[in-house]
Amino acid sequence: MRWEKIISVVHAHAEGEVGRVITGGVLDVPGKTMFDKKSWLERRGDSLRKMILFEPRGSAAMSVNLLLAPTTTKADAGFIVMESTDYPPMSGSNAMCVTTVLLETGILPMKEPVTKVVLDTPAGLVTATAECRNGKCKRVSLESVPAFVSHLDAVVEVGGLGSITIDVAFGGAFFAMADAKALGFTIEPSEARDLVSVGRKITAAASEQLKVKHPKNSKINRIAFTQFGGPPRGVKRRRRSTVVIEPGRLDRSPCGTGTMAKLAQLSARGQLKVGETLYHDSITGTYFIANIVRKTKVGQYDAIVPRVSGRAWISGLFEFGHDPSDPFPEGFTLSDTWGDGPIGAPVI
């Protein structure tokens, strides 16, 4: 075996959504803040993302998180999310995976019955509270950056659909919030391919036709995802949603930042009050438990501080390497799975 480098990775998932965690092989990346470090990776260090996520070592239906030392003394650890196409500022399911890996592998000390971990992310500080028992993180709750709605009842023109009405909400990234029922969907697994096809069109149209910019970070300025939301279900405050992620797949979990965006949307519409519980179901049958901690402001926007909790599991330990004779040091993608292909990916 002739490897030029070795990257240690813990394979984990949160309620079905894979979030690998890089625990060794990368010392640091340049930048004063975690957002600076994310930007550096995008511009100059993207080979790491492609090596771990692209075929033949990865697949479209996963993310990877790079653990780093925090850039502020207020945090215990930092991490950067790397997805198939880009680097979102924050991800709830990935934060659950990161917290579980930090504690269950002993990188940070686990204290039973509760361990608090402050995470330094490109979107800001996120406080994770882990319920711990017998060396296991039973559930991770995230109190994240403020979420808000930037557009209510915005009309966009979508090819093949005509005019549709959406909301736009920020929960760590900007989401186009579409009404699943109005578009003929019930959010069932059999609809997955059609949801992806329609959702990608909505994301592209909304991103082109609606301007967004985070008041505290002007570089967060695009609509990255579409979330299909269903009506209330049963006697509890329960809803099912699914989020379309590039290059063309559904989040297997209820989506952490998508759940935070849902809380902001429901609050803006007067459908959820501070302290009330939302049970947010995924298309795979898993769920997050969420609530609004308090109301706040972000620039000109009325906002909420969201809390979302879910479960994560470690399912594998890997060491990835590159043999100099391997023709795919940065992987590849094929259009049968990856569509037109993510940014920076060679489509063969």
Residues identified as active-site: 91
Q: Would you state the structure tokens that stand for residue 293, as one six-digit string?
A: 């901690």
Contact residues for 113 (Cβ-Cβ < 8 A; gap 6+): 131, 132, 133
**Hey, what amino acid is at 169?**
A
Nearest to residue 256, comparing CAs of 142, 151, 180, 161? 142
Nearest to residue 257, comparing CAs of 67, 90, 80? 90
260 and 147 in contact (C-beta within 8 Å)? yes
Nearest to residue 305, comparing CAs of 141, 156, 175? 141
d(CA 233, CA 280): 10
Count Cβ atoms below 10 Å from residue 32 Cβ, excluding itself: 8
Element housing 68 (H / E): strand 63-68
d(CA 68, CA 117): 14
Sign of CA dihedral 18, 19, 25, 30: positive
| C-alpha 317: how far from chain center | 22
> Terminus-to-terminus CA distance in the chain, angstroms?
27
